[in-house]
Amino acid sequence: MMWIDLVAVLALLQVIFFSMLVGSARTKYGVHAPAMSGHPQFERMYRVHMNTVELLVLLLPAMYLAARYWSPSLVAIGGAVYLLGRLVYWRSYTKDPASRAVGFGLSIFPVLAMLGAVLVGIVVKGSAY
């Protein structure tokens, strides 16, 4: 479970990093709170942050649930792919929002795979009881 915990902490740190980039973009582009729109680069960074928060809500329980039924190391690798996907998403979305598909796919597919693995684990391993 140590690897799951490491990925979870890295995911939380990643979302903090993205929130800091949003704050920096606010200053750089003169978007004063509470405004959520203004300069396109600010809006892109804000969307990266918010999309990451939205997926984080799915990632964390999916990892911990999947690790109950499957190898925690394998689940942690899925979490690491998610982290990489978020970095790819950030870099591509801030350059050109239309290019975000690869990063989004690398982020959402591990989460969906973990949720599927949980369901399989419940059915297969749960029926042994």
**How many independent structural domains does the chain possess?**
1
Structural domain span for residue 66 = 2-126
CA distance 7 to 127: 30
Per-residue pLDDT of the chain (129 residues; tens, 9 = 90+): 899 999 999 999 999 999 999 999 999 999 999 999 999 999 999 999 999 999 999 999 999 999 999 999 999 999 999 999 999 999 999 999 999 999 999 999 999 999 999 999 999 977 665
Q: Can you list the pairs that 16-23 forms with residues at least 24 positions away whose Cβ atoms lie under 8 Å?
A: 18/45, 18/48, 18/49, 18/52, 18/90, 19/49, 21/45, 21/48, 21/49, 22/46, 22/49
Whether the CB-CB separation of 66 and 121 falls below 8 Å is answered with: yes
* CATH code where residue 38 lies: 1.20.120.550
Q: Name the pTM for this structure.
A: 0.94
